[in-house]
Structure 1
Amino acid sequence: MSKKVIIVGGHGNISLRLARILGPTHAVKSIIRTRDHESDIKAASAEPVYLSLEDAPVSAFSAAFEGQDVVYFSAGAGGKGGPERTKAVDYEGAVKVFDAIEGVSGPKPRLILVSAIDVRNPERIPSYYDEKDLAVSARMRAAMDAYMHWKYEADKNLANRTAFKWTILRPSTLTDGPGTDRATIGKAHLGAPVSREDVAKTLALLADREDAAGLAIDLVGGDVPIDTGLDTFIARGETDFLV
């Protein structure tokens, strides 16, 4: 069924791929900061909406979300601007979107948020992690401490929201290689990268998965068809996010 969707962080590499997948069958809007990106958004079969995640008020985002079925949050500082901007975009920007969805006067759209694998309370280690996972986790946290911290704070904030339905997708290291339509989904070991194309395909499938509400879903490279892996994970109903 065709849906109205809006993508926050519309000019990102995953977002553009997502818009291309959804555009032929859904009404897609993409939020961007600058008109310099307008042609890229239109080429991806989306309608540009001009808002700054850092500067626009919550009310402006609530207005943009009115009448939408799904909001995708795929924005991020991308390591630019240091820890302060990481906090401003990856945490404060995410919370602004959560607040804006709560501020929608009509039916609240669902939120599908892109986070990252191993975003968790650092004191709580998943029971299935092995020594290799612990080593990969330690390297990731040493290299991206602010990113992992503020992603965790944003995800923790979202996990306490009940006014709207939400799902978190937690991909591993991203590549620009071609998609395979296959992955490992749920309780995944760290290290296997996943293509941005396969992340976008998973996000697109989640547009129709209202039964994934309240779940955080790990996604790494693997051999299981993505749609099959999602079916199995959602049927199990166990989130991957450790508060």
Structure 2
Amino acid sequence: MSKNIVIVGGHGHVARKLTKLLTPSHSVTSIIRTPEQVNDIKELSANPLVLSLADAPVVDFTHAFQGSDVVYFSAGAGGKGGEEMTKKIDYEGAVKVFDAIEGVQGKKPLLILVSAVDVRDPDKIPAHYNEEDIAVSNRVRKAIGVYMKWKYEADKNLVKRTAFKWIILRPGGLTNTPGVGTASIGRTHLGKTISRDDVALALSLLVDREDASGLAIDFVGGETPIQEGLDTFIAKGETDFLG
């Protein structure tokens, strides 16, 4: 069934790949930052909406979400602008979207949020991590600790919300290699990267999976077909967000 979909951060690499997968079957509105990005979105057969995640008020996003079935949050500062901009986009921008969804009149859209694997309380090491996982985690936190911190604060805010349904996808390190259609999904290890193509594919498959509501899904490179892996993970019903 065709859905009305809004993508926040619609000009990002994953978001554009996702848009291309969704537009043949769904109506997609892509929220972008600047008018210069409009034509890129139109070429993907989506409807561009210029709206600043950093500066526009919550009510503008509520208006944009009204009547939508699914909202994707795929925005991020991308490490640009230091901690101030990372906090403003990855945390405050995310919370703005959560608040905006709560303000939607009538049925509220499902939120599908793109986070990152290993986003957690740094003092809580998952029981399934091995020594290599811990080493990778420490290395990543030294390199992009500010990003991990504010993604964690955003996810921590989201998991407490009950006014709307949400799903979190937590991909590992992203590559631009062609997608292979397979992954390791759920309580996985940290060493393997994942193609942006495969992240976009997983996000597109989640559009019809309200049965995944309340779950955070770890997603790195692996051998399991993505549809099969999502089915197994969702049936198990055990979130990867450990707090």
Smaller-chain TM-score range? over 0.9
CA distance in 2, matches of 1:209, 1:33: 28
Cα distance in 1 between the residues matched to 2:96 and 2:217: 22
CA distance in 2, matches of 1:70, 1:224: 26
| Structure 1 partner of 2:231 | 231
Residue number in structure 2 paired with 1:67 = 67
**CA deviation vs aligned residue, 1:62-97 (integer Å, no higher than 9, x gap):** 000000000000000000000010000000000000
Aligned to 1:131: 131
Look up the match of 1:201: 201
Instruction: Give the distance between the partners of 1:87 and 1:45, measured in 2 at CA.
Output: 31
1:178-217 CA distance string (max 9 Å, x none): 0111000000100100000000000000000000000000
The aligned residue for residue 79 of structure 1 is 79
User: Amino acid of the residue matched to residue 190 of structure 1?
Assistant: L
SS of corresponding position for 2:18: helix
Q: Does 1:142 align with 2:142?
A: yes
2:193 is aligned with 1:190: no
Structure 2: gaps of 5 or more residues: none
Aligned twin of 1:111:
111
Letter in 2 for 1:39: N
**What is the root-mean-square deviation of aligned Cα atoms in Å?**
0.5
The SS at the match of 2:105 is coil
Residue equivalent to 1:51: 51
Shift, 1:39, TM fit: 1.0
Moved over 3 A (4+): none
Letter in 1 for 2:37: H
**Letter matched to residue 43 of structure 1:** E
Secondary structure of the 1:184 match is: strand
Deviations along 1:120-160, one digit per CA (max 9) or x if unpaired, are: 01111110100000000000000011100000000000000
**2:216 matched to which residue of 1?**
216
Query: Would you say 1:24 and 2:24 are equivalent positions?
Result: yes
Aligned residue for 2:71, secondary structure, equals strand
Q: Secondary structure at the match of 2:29?
A: strand
Q: Secondary structure at the match of 2:214?
A: coil
For structure 1, list consecutive stretches of 5 or more residues without a partner in the other structure. none
User: 1:232 Cα shift?
Assistant: 0.3
Once residues 240 and 227 of structure 2 are traced to their aligned partners in structure 1, the CA distance between those partners, rounded to angstroms, is 18
SS of 2:178's partner is coil
Deviation at 1:35, TM superposition (A): 1.0
* Equivalent position amino acid for 2:121 in 1: N
Distance 2:45 2:188 in 1: 33
For normalisation by structure 1, the TM-score amounts to: 0.99
Q: Secondary structure at the match of 2:208?
A: coil
Instruction: Provide the secondary structure at the position in 2 that maps to 1:39.
Output: helix
Structure-2-length-normalised TM-score: 0.99
The question of whether the paired residues in 2 share the 8 Å contact of 1:17 and 1:44 is answered with no
| 1:242 shift after superposition | 1.1
Contact kept in structure 2, 1:184 and 1:224, CA below 8 Å: yes
Aligned counterparts of 1:178 and 1:47: Cα–Cα separation in 2: 26
Aligned equivalents of 2:183, 2:229: Cα separation in 1: 8
Q: In 2, distance between residues paired with 1:4 and 1:184?
A: 30
> What number of residue pairs does the alignment pair up?
243
Residue type matched to 1:4 in 2? Answer: N
Paired amino acid for 2:227: D
Q: Using the TM superposition, give the Cα deviation of residue 33 of structure 1 relative to its aligned residue in structure 2, in angstroms.
A: 1.4
Aligned to 2:100: 100
Shift of 1:106: 1.9
Amino acid in structure 1 at the alignment position of 2:134: L
